[in-house]
Structure 1
Amino acid sequence: MNRVYLDHNATTPLRPEARAAMVAAMDVAGNPSSVHAEGRAAKALVERARAQVAAALGADGADVIFTSGATEAAALACAGRGLASAAVEHDAVAAWGSGTLSVRADGVVEVFEPAATALQLANSETGVVQELPAGLAVTDATQGFGKLPFAFNWSGAEMALVSAHKLGGPKGIGALVIRRGTDLVAQLKGGGQEMGRRAGTENVIGIAGFGAAAEAAARDLADGRWGEIEKLRNILENGLEASAKSIIFVGKDSRRLPNTSCFAVPGWKGETQVMQMDLAGFAISAGSACSSGKVRASRVLGAMGYDETVAASAIRVSLGLETREEDVQRFVDAWLKQESKYRARAA
């Protein structure tokens, strides 16, 4: 069976550019903090990647702090700040926010005090994109980075979180981007790495892969590749809607990530759909992938006003740059086959 991977919002396959950069970095033995030639060679790799990530983000290199991922970046940005947030935020941000901001039925968050708010650029489950207000304290740009035009220096945000494995880089490496002059309290203390803002010997191999992936992702975005993926997403949704009359597409009337479709057939559990499609050769999800394998009713959909039945029935299909129209059509046919069986059992 030729499997089709449609869970790119959880993680993306490693780009060839990232793989090549990581393999090359494995042969560099030095510690970036060492002053000898080997150390300087390792440091050069880190700084080259920092410049690549900064360029892709529309930021200055000195403002990029490498971390172990977006979760650590969220802790570094949000700890002790008492930020307002909404229930649609990723768990890594929600853990530090109040969760009190209102969410409209279309998934848009209502922000009143941007300077005291954490707000995602795009939601990983629904794909809904937020309009970032000027002066925003923190934005989680993890899902939007590489898929949407985004320039940190123009966004007005004080800090932004990103992760490499959402755009074809390796897992376990991310960054916090910070506007110069913003106060920041280091959470990991020890050596003076990352200009004293994040202690610990740098993950040179992961950082090199991140830089190469960010550069390649920026090129694909500029070349209009995600516009092609959006057309495939629309083909998928039109194909499903034509036959599945009770299907609900979440956030369809909002601006969304070009690759993301979240939908539900009330009563048909998302967990069941994920298993059925897995057996049919398709990798999809029933929400965020950061819950240690747990499948539960989406609190994101609950915040948007959907009841428990719909929230527990939602699945997410997220396409990638290698997704082809034949992959989409195969998924539509396989899913509709299972949906027909569900309707027959429920009748």
Structure 2
Amino acid sequence: MIPEHPGLRGRPVYLDHNATTPVDPRVAEAMQPYLTEWFGNPSSTHAYATEPRAALARARRQVAELIGSGAAEIVFTGSGSEADNLALSGAVLAATTDRPHVITQITEHPAVLETCRVLERLHGVDVTRLPVDEDGLVDPAALAAALTEHTVLVSVMAANNETGAIQPIAELARVTRAHGALFHCDAAQAAGKVPLHVDELGVDLLTVVGHKMYAPKGIAALYVRDGVTLEPLVHGGGQERGLRAGTENVALAVALGAAAELAARELAGGGHDRIRALRDRLHTELTKALPGRVHLNGPAEPRLPNTLNVSIDGIRGHELLAAVPEVAFSTGSACHSGDHTPSPVLHAMGLDDARALSALRLSLGRWTTGEDIDLAARLLAAAAATGPTAQVR
């Protein structure tokens, strides 16, 4: 691990890695030559294409190795949202049934939920949104009951971006594929943090996102199992197996490949055990400093090793965020014209407004240290102890 990240030096403790990660300097170094020296179009037939074409193939292999797929099954996209859109719309538009049916779940990322709404409105697709339990998990029996003869696709994320709850993807995919439908998994938060193998999961489509794993924003990939037919969203020159036209951004693909290789190396070396220990240390310190006031949202396990979502009685998340500028994190509410509304994810889990509005999402990363955790716990606890204690409404 690089000892210190230049973007974090002398700045607030960064505990918002689920929103985005700092670009690893090793990733930036890997991509740099393809912004300057190796600028050629990888589809050209002259000498300037040779190195970019080889780099693109190498990056595809690196991403494939992270998730256990074949390199030819990796399609580069411009974002995780685009990959999700391609998976959902591509599967529906390629389906042969008269009125396609799609199943997802209520706490999915907006990239999936909003795509489902568009498919309903513009293409007459039937969409079922499964509920979740108090831990935010989908019941495989509920999925089995929702499947119909018209179901063409089920889309359930690997891990929730707010709570870190890890879904039973292998079981959900088994139920889905036994019924003859495709299974898509948005693994934006899980890829690089926990082991993923597409054959063991049994998925047909899987989304990997660069800026969630120390690559720049603007690059992602969709795993498309060999034999799965999708209708492309972007038509043109036939790049990316005809599924995503447009000259490839070689530099960003190289960045994603380098990030995938680093992530695979960390997973093999148990690097996320260190992060899990720091996450639990943060939880313990907050609980000790604020006895009886700290409540975990989502499951203790299975959960992403870097994610802690807690509510602290007596103070709203946005108030704590404003009171502790020395720590960067996310809250359980969204602000619309000054009015704070509870997270739909926490609401779907059955949390009331008071607890949802008091929620904090603290997500750790590659450069988080024990000193960071101790400082964050001390500052957050001190602000919560002296901050508003009125009933949250």
Does the alignment reach a TM-score above 0.5? yes
1:265 — aligned with what?
Answer: 312
Instruction: Find the aligned partners of 2:130 and 2:13 in 1 and give their Cα distance.
Output: 37
Q: Distance in 2 between matches of 1:230 and 1:155?
A: 23
Aligned mate of 1:87, from 106, 113, 128 = 106
Cα contact 1:82–1:96 (8 A) shared by 2: no
Q: Does 1:122 align with 2:156?
A: no
Residue 267 of structure 1 and its aligned partner are, at CA, apart by 5.1
Aligned partners of 2:11 and 2:243: how far apart in 1?
46
Q: How many residues in Structure 1 have an aligned counterpart in Structure 2?
A: 343
Return the offset for 1:116.
3.3
Q: 2:370 aligns with which of 320, 325, 328?
A: 325
| Residue 21 of structure 2 corresponds to residue 18 of structure 1 | no
Structure 2: which amino acid aligns with 1:38?
Y
The one-letter amino acid of 2:373's match is V
Q: Secondary structure at the match of 2:223?
A: strand
Partner of 1:274: 321
* Kept after mapping to 2: 8 A contact 1:18/1:168: yes
2:85 and 2:333 map into 1 onto residues whose CA distance is: 19
Tell me the TM-score normalised to structure 2 length. 0.83
Offset from partner CA, 1:66-91 (integer Å, 9 cap, x none): 00011000000001364211121111
Q: Could you tell me how far apart the structure 2 residues matched to 1:230 and 1:309 are? A: 28
CA distance in 2, matches of 1:117, 1:76: 14
Deviation at 1:5, TM superposition (A): 0.8
Equivalent pair of 1:87/1:101 in contact (CA under 8 Å) = yes
Contact 2:153 2:183 in 1 (8 A): yes
The 5 Å alignment of 1:172-211 reads 172-211=218-257
TM-score relative to the length of structure 1: 0.93
Q: Name stretches of at least 5 consecutive residues in structure 1 with no aligned partner.
A: none
Which entry has the higher C-alpha Rg, 1 or 2?
2
Helix, strand or coil at the partner of 2:45:
coil
Contact conserved, 1:267 with 1:310, CA < 8 A, in 2?
A: no
1:154-198: CA deviations, max 9, x gaps?
Answer: 210110011011111111000100111111010001111001110
Which residue in 1 is equivalent to 2:14? 5
> What is the alpha-carbon distance in structure 2 between the residues aligned to residue 190 and residue 225 of structure 1?
42
What is the alpha-carbon distance in structure 2 between the residues aligned to residue 288 and residue 166 of structure 1? 21
1:146–1:167 CA contact under 8 A, matched in 2: yes
Amino acid at match of 1:275: A
Distance 1:3 1:174, change over 3 A: same
1:238 maps onto 2:284 in alignment: yes
SS of the residue 2:215 aligns to: coil
Q: Secondary structure at the match of 1:49?
A: helix
Q: Answer yes or no: is 1:167 the counterpart of 2:213.
A: yes
Moved more, 140-149 or 248-257: 248-257
Does the C-alpha gap of structure 1 residues 268 and 153 become closer, same or farther in structure 2, counting only changes over 3 Å?
Answer: same
**Letter of the 2:135 counterpart:** D
Q: Partner residue of 2:43?
A: 33
Q: Which has the higher strand share?
A: 2
Deviation at 1:287, TM superposition (A): 5.0
> How far apart, in 2, do the equivalents of 1:225 and 1:11 lie?
19
Aligned-pair identity in percent equals: 38
Residue 69 of structure 1 is matched in structure 2 by: 79
Measure the CA separation in 1 of the matches of 2:86 and 2:236. 15
- Maintained 8 Å contact 1:286/1:295: no
Q: Contact 1:162–1:175 (CA<8 Å) still a contact in 2? A: yes
The CA deviation string for residues 170-228 of structure 1, in whole angstroms up to 9 with x for no partner, is 11000100111111010001111001110011111111111001000100111001011
Summarize deviations over 1:211-246 as a string: whole Å, max 9, x none.
Answer: 001000100111001011101111110111113222
Q: Is the 8 A contact 2:210 2:219 kept in 1?
A: yes
Structure 1 residue 24: deviation in Å? 1.7
* Runs of 4+, deviation exceeding 4 Å: 343-347
Q: Tell me: CA distance 1:276–1:110, structure 2 relative to 1, closer, same or farther (3 Å).
A: same
1:305 corresponds to which residue? Answer: 350
For residues 311 and 319 of structure 1, the distance between their equivalents in structure 2, rounded to whole angstroms, comes to 21
CA displacement at 1:17 relative to structure 2: 2.1
Provide the rounded CA distance (Å) in 1 between the counterparts of 2:66 and 2:103.
Answer: 28
Return the alpha-carbon distance in structure 2 between the equivalents of residues 35 and 12 of structure 1. 36
Worse-matched range after superposition: 293-302 or 198-207:
293-302
**TM-superposed deviation, 1:102:** 1.7
Q: Is the 1:65–1:197 contact (alpha carbons within 8 Å) kept by the matching residues of 2? A: yes
Distance 2:333 2:101 in 1: 24
1:250 corresponds in structure 2 to 297
Q: How large is the Cα RMSD of the aligned pairs?
A: 2.2
Q: 1:336 to 1:267 in 2, by over 3 A?
A: closer
1:192 is paired with a residue whose SS is coil
Is the CA contact (8 Å cut-off) linking 1:125 and 1:288 kept in structure 2?
no
Residues 252 and 237 of structure 1: CA distance in aligned 2, closer, same or farther (over 3 Å): farther
Q: Secondary structure in 2 aligned to 1:189? A: coil
